[in-house]
Chain A
Amino acid sequence: MSSKLALSEEILLSVEKPARYIGGEINMAVKDPEKVDIRFVMCFPDVYEVGMSHLGIQILYDMFNRRPDTYCERVYSPWTDLDAIMREKHIPLFSLETQSPIKDFDFLGITLQYEMCYTNVLQVLDLAGIPLHAEDRTEDDPIVVGGGPCTYNPEPIAEFFDFFYIGEGETAYDDILDLYKENKKRGGTRKDFLRQVSHIQGMYVPSLYEVTYKEDGTIASFAPVAEDVPAKILKQVVTDLDTCVYPDKQLLPFLKVVQDRVVLELQRGCTRGCRFCQAGMIYRPTRERSVEHLCAIARNLLNTSGQDEMNLSSLSSSDFSGLPELVYTMIDECRERHVNLSLPSLRIDSFAVDVMQKVQDVNRSSITFAPEAGTQRMRNVINKGLTEEDILSGAAKAFAAGWNKVKLYFMLGLPTETETDVAGIAELGNAIAREFYALPKEQRHGRANVTISTSYFIAKPFTPFQWMPMISKDVFLTRQRLLKATVQEQRNAKSLVYHWHDAETSELEGIFARGDRKLSRVIEEAYRRGCIYDAWTENFKYDIWKEIMDKYGVSVEFYNLRERPYDEILPWDHIDIGVRRDFLYREYERAKQELVTPNCMTKCSGCGAAVFGCGICVKPRKKADGGEA
């Protein structure tokens, strides 16, 4: 490997954490770029420590590099300090592995994990010297492809991408890369390639679709420009997680990153069907890995990384049927290796309390619940199958086992929310603290510490709430104040702490989440005026965004605050996640009627995900506890 770095010593010594830019990590792929046909650079448009924490990139990086004809490298957003230097000194953005200019690659793959990274996408393109608009790119520019959850409605950034890969990355990239090679050999153009890509399931080439608008700003029509381009883009799905690729080794960063541990993905999807949750819909159907496969992967990952923590990752770990077997096998092995096991998203029951006692320091750690809403009525609306009794009995078990810290997560501004629901949040917190003080004195350790956190409900595409209005920033702030006051009125107020989320980023996130192509000029202008790292509160420039939105007539009322009628064409209607629009609408109506829909383990609701013929849709699981919790 060449030891030549893209940045001079002077620059490296003048920026914060130069190790962000030097590459060379353990398990990094080393190849000769001259000897491959395809150079792919994978980008997470945020700072290194965030980007390196993402499992998806690790999977694709490993998968691409298994191909002898392809060399996959990485790039992350330069932090603001280096960003300024690169602009001043005209240093082109470079990859970590070979430190070569991004513009020299065949593909630039950008993962879109949250809406607030959109200006960072433009930063990456701009610093790389790639035209921001796909239509301005030439044969010399890389093909810019987007992936990740935001591609389920990529319209606000559609103009900046050559194509989007909708769905799970493990399945179709081989075909795409083969196609690219063939097209190149034939002397085909960029346009030729994109046209052929559009024929592969899951590939959305925005330039091949035309959109017209009505006078009120809603969509009048959205259609492909030619007959061979599919009108609907069906997402890609891995049908068997045990036979699909999973990295034997994960890149091990030198810096302490946000997720500083190896990650074991237990399953994909979630059976719960919470009506606000996009992940619960777009990753259907739920598919599990076998315990045997997981144990083998875990040993490999620990051997090849030397990491001292392993995270069992899933949207709802308690629903993973092999959890007790896996956990009891791994606990001993991890202890021998001095590896900490972390299990987020566990439902607190006797099993969880037993496991947590074995893997956590009871005195220092806390237990977490995500009731999301304060009253049973509200939880029925959002279809959160968690009752007050579940929460209180879970908390009581944990308190009896020695814990005294509880974290609670809620949303404010859920559809149909009233002041009673808001006050219910404080009352639930109080009831939990009461469980603690109900214990005999000699069993209690100190005092209860119940932390209540609220975030701002954001309506997301492909959820039953996609038609629902959000509340305005002002109403949100009023409810925050109301909750704060109600918390203070509680009998156990001294044991309760209330944390809240800032409203301005959430408002913009809402606009982007359900946005359309008209937003691209807003994003572009915000970027031109210095907005990057909007996900970082200290960098978020609300006033600039507001000014630009006003200039282009982009209103919060239109994107966030109105109820959308059923017959309105939504900007993401051309994307097909398997789960049908009419199912989502049925759920929307059941939400209004406060009716609970059973989860997939109890009863199939016919959402449409069975079209993929895999996972829970073909092999329903029997749960001893009946599923509902």
Chain B
Amino acid sequence: MKVRIGFAKFDRMRFLGHLDVMRFFQHAIARAGLPVAYSAGFHPHMILSFAQPLALSVSSDGEYFDVELTEDLEAQEIKERLQGTMCDGFAITDAYVLPQQEPNTKKQTGMSLIAGALYLLEETESYQGQLLAAATALAAAQKAVVAKPTKNGTRDVDVRSGIHALGIVSEDGAIRWLCDDDVFAVPENLTEGFGAERSRHAAHRPGALRMLFAVDAGSENNISAELLSDALSVSGGIPEGRMFSSHRMELYGLKDGHMESLLTMK
């Protein structure tokens, strides 16, 4: 059976790269003694599929991988056994048994499903309203072009077209949306339910400005936290630098024109 595991990555572990995160979970699954399926060949490896890599230093409450098991187990048991093998900075948030796939449909792995992400950005120092003005300008703009680093140089990317919603989070957790289309079902606040759950491991300094972004993600048009930061510095005329600490709250797949949380995506 196929299981989707949700996990959080925070504190020191924010500095682990994607490959090392994959290695970490391979070892964790072996320590947990889960009956995992292996590939064929002389050096078989576990059949794991990880969702969108997370940039270094970004924390997250919305990471996923899919794992194939050779025996049926209760989701709760899988979650507990894996949680028992975690170290500080990693936590298992969910385990969800995926429904059997129709034999003739195209295989949908965690990675190829990804279409959207929800980011929480918090200013690292006070920009005295400059960032709020930048966010307002960005929300109102038609376009926000920034240079995205690629393998050979840079490529211009319109970040604005990839932003579906932009909200300002007040100190009590309430969200005021500056722009919003109906592609994403966005949280209502960060104090309860989904909003609270998915911002649990985000560092927060009282009084610091926080913004919420619902954006495109995945292999097609990936708007990373870093690109969002760049777009804000362009629209606000602020010199580039480390303006934000970033947190990924959730990853989404696209279904019937709407973003659906990867956890419940069928």
Q: Can you list, as one digit per residue, whether each of B90-105 has a CB less than 8 Å from chain A (1) or not (0)?
A: 0000000000000000
Q: Among A22, A305, A340, which residue has its beta carbon within 8 angstroms of that of B27?
A: A305
Interface stretch of the complex, out of A2-10, A238-246, A503-511: A2-10
Bound-state CA distance A252–B26 (Å) is 12
> Are A3's CB and B16's CB within 8 A?
no
The number of chain B residues touching the other chain, given as a range, is 20 to 34
Also in contact, A254 and B24, with CB within 8 A (given A19-B16, A23-B12, A24-B87): yes
Residues of B with C-beta under 8 A to A340: 43
Interface stretch of the complex, out of B28-36, B128-136, B250-258: B28-36
> Are A19's CB and B17's CB within 8 A?
yes
Which residues of B18-63 have CB atoms within 8 Å of chain A's CB atoms? 19-20, 23-24, 26-31, 38, 42-44, 46, 56-57
Also in contact, A308 and B26, with CB within 8 A (given A12-B57, A25-B87, A340-B43): yes
30 pairs, CB–CB < 8 Å, chain A vs chain B: A1-B88, A3-B88, A9-B242, A9-B245, A10-B242, A12-B15, A12-B57, A13-B56, A18-B15, A19-B16, A22-B13, A22-B15, A22-B16, A23-B12, A24-B87, A26-B87, A252-B27, A254-B16, A254-B20, A254-B23, A256-B19, A302-B30, A306-B27, A306-B28, A307-B27, A307-B30, A308-B30, A338-B44, A361-B42, A361-B43
Residues of B with C-beta under 8 A to A85: none
> Are B43's CB and A304's CB within 8 A?
no
Q: How far is the CB of B6 from chain A (nearest CB, A)?
A: 20
Residues of A with C-beta under 8 A to B44: 338
Residue A586 CB within 8 A of the other chain: no
Residue B170 CB within 8 A of the other chain: no
Residue of B nearest to A9 (CB): B57
Q: How far is the CB of B128 from chain A (nearest CB, A)?
A: 21
Q: Which residues of B contact A (CB under 8 A)?
A: 11-13, 15-17, 19-20, 23-24, 26-31, 38, 42-44, 46, 56-57, 85, 87-89, 242, 245
Residues of A with C-beta under 8 A to B46: 338
Bound-state CA distance A550–B204 (Å) is 59
> Are B88's CB and A338's CB within 8 A?
no
Residues of A with C-beta under 8 A to B20: 19, 254-256
The number of chain A residues touching the other chain, given as a range, is 20 to 34
Bound-state CA distance A337–B34 (Å) is 11
Q: Can you list, as one digit per residue, whether each of A359-392 has a CB less than 8 Å from chain B (1) or not (0)?
A: 0010010000000000000000000000000000
Bound-state CA distance A361–B43 (Å) is 8
Bound-state CA distance A385–B12 (Å) is 52
Bound-state CA distance A337–B30 (Å) is 8
Residue A303 CB within 8 A of the other chain: yes
Residues of B with C-beta under 8 A to A3: 11-12, 88-89
Given contacts A3-B11, A13-B57, 20 further A-B contacts (CB under 8 A): A1-B88, A9-B57, A13-B56, A18-B15, A19-B15, A19-B16, A22-B13, A24-B87, A24-B89, A26-B27, A26-B31, A26-B85, A252-B27, A255-B20, A303-B31, A305-B27, A306-B28, A337-B30, A340-B43, A361-B43
Which residues of A1-46 have CB atoms within 8 Å of chain B's CB atoms? 1, 3, 5, 9-10, 12-13, 17-19, 22-26, 28
Bound-state CA distance A252–B13 (Å) is 14
Residues of B with C-beta under 8 A to A1: 88
Residues of B with C-beta under 8 A to A9: 57, 242, 245
